[in-house]
Copies of this chain bind each other. A is one copy, B any other.
Amino acid sequence: MPAQKLPEVTTVACLLSIFLVPLAAAGLALMNVGLGRSRSAGHMMMASLSALAVAALAYFVCGFAWQGTIGSAGHALNLSGKYWNWIAAEPFFFRKVSFDGSIASLTALFQIFCVGLAALIPLGSGADRWHLRASCLSTALLAGWTYPLFAHWVWGGGWLAQLGVNYGIGRGFLDAGGASTIHVVGGLAALSVTWILGPRRGKYSGDGMAPAIPGHNAVLVLFGCVLSLIGWIGLNSAGAILFTGSEPYGTVMITINTMLAASASALTAAMVTKIRFGKPDASLTANGWIGGLVASSASCAFVSPAEAVVIGSVAGAVVIFSVEWFELRMEVDDPGGSVSVHAVAGIWGLLALGMFGQFQRPVSNVAGNLLPSTMSGMAPGQWLAQLIGVATLVGFVLPLTYGGNRLLNLFYPYRVSVEGERQGMDLHELGAGAYPEFVTHTDEFLPR
């Protein structure tokens, strides 16, 4: 492939936005820790650091080869005269990436952090009971296969991106900042993991009550929100530049939209919990904040600030009801709320793009060859493209992820022993507690 490049200033803006993305990982890791128990806190951080590392290496080894970038080598199916690009075929180990500021090299860098972020999402769901080794293997599967496959379809010139060109459905499936590739993919992995692991002991005691098991450190949870905001600014800005052809100037509105969506979502979540439970719930407000960020990711480049407020507000309410529905109706024990915050809010964000998205100018200079450049204003059928994307996520990616994790579970059982869970993950798996000098009372939530 010829090394396609962005203008120099755009490259620098994109690059420096990417540098901020690990703050989102730092934020999510702290939230997962804070929402779990103290006896598993060291384990959660260890699992988070390991997930970032495994994801980066797996993506380096084979993930990028299968994701590729627009215009890279790939395999295509010929369906009734149209080519459906379904997987890239770049060499492994970044061997053909030209590290001269090409779009491919920026994508490789960006994705190294994005896959890590996606890998943190299931950790929040598997808190307090997921083997470290198993979580590393599950991360390798996600970063080396599931994520790149779907990301190729969206960001690598694959068939979802081609829906516009091939069938005139909007501009094809669009996702500027990774609501689908990072968050829904990660959130569906989280759902698979909770199904495989089952709930924590003592969560559903059989008498119909599901006691809330509070997180052990609310300060970390809320601090994680602010760090995540900065990471998300980088995420949405870099993604919009790389994958939807935003100019650096466009990131001003993107950042405003990101902040407004998070703000509206958090306040809505606080108000909904206040109305339902009598008092606003800090953890759920934090989840609302992140849900707003997730929902903003898809459409941040294509909506007005006022629409971002609407998208955020809906996200906040959706997250709260989803958390409750999964916890009480589905008996999905998801300590970090990852399924609702990432998968559900992400799906909402994808659909919202179909509802509100406006395209002032051709989308995009990057994927320019894929899109009818004469369109402007609302794209006819964009909602359908988004719906097809969501259907693919739920109908294809979820089974794929569930199946893969189920298979891994056969060989490397995901769940720790009863004794290990009682003891806490820190002592059981790492041989040392996270807070050895602090006096804790840790038994009240376990069945006697």
Contacts and interface: CB of A to CB of B under 8 A. Distances in A.
B260 A57 contact: yes
B57 A309 contact: yes
B101 A249 contact: yes
A229 to B, nearest CB: 5
Interface string A280-298: 1111011001000000000
A contact patch SS: helix
A347 interface: no
A113 B230 CA distance: 11
A205 interface: no
B439 A439 contact: yes
Interface stretch (A48-56, A324-332, A384-392): A48-56
Contacts of A48: 222, 226
Interface stretch (A15-23, A149-157, A406-414): A15-23
A45 B252 contact: no
B109 A54 contact: no
Contact of A289 (B23, B49, B436): B49
B222 A219 contact: no
Contacts of A113: 259
A29 B222 CA distance: 10
Contact of A282 (B20, B256, B430): B430
Contact of A9 (B8, B230, B233, B251): B8
A42 B256 CA distance: 27
A9 B219 CA distance: 38
A434 B282 CA distance: 9
Interface string A295-312: 000000000011001000
Given A57-B309, A60-B305, A282-B432, A52 B437 contact: no
A49 B266 contact: yes
Interface in A206-263: 214, 216-223, 225-227, 229-230, 233-234, 237, 247-253, 255-256, 259-260, 262-263
A58 to B, nearest CB: 10
Interface centre among A94, A218, A289 (most CB of B within 10 A): A218
10 contacts: A26-B226, A48-B222, A50-B266, A53-B266, A56-B260, A57-B264, A57-B267, A101-B248, A281-B431, A437-B441
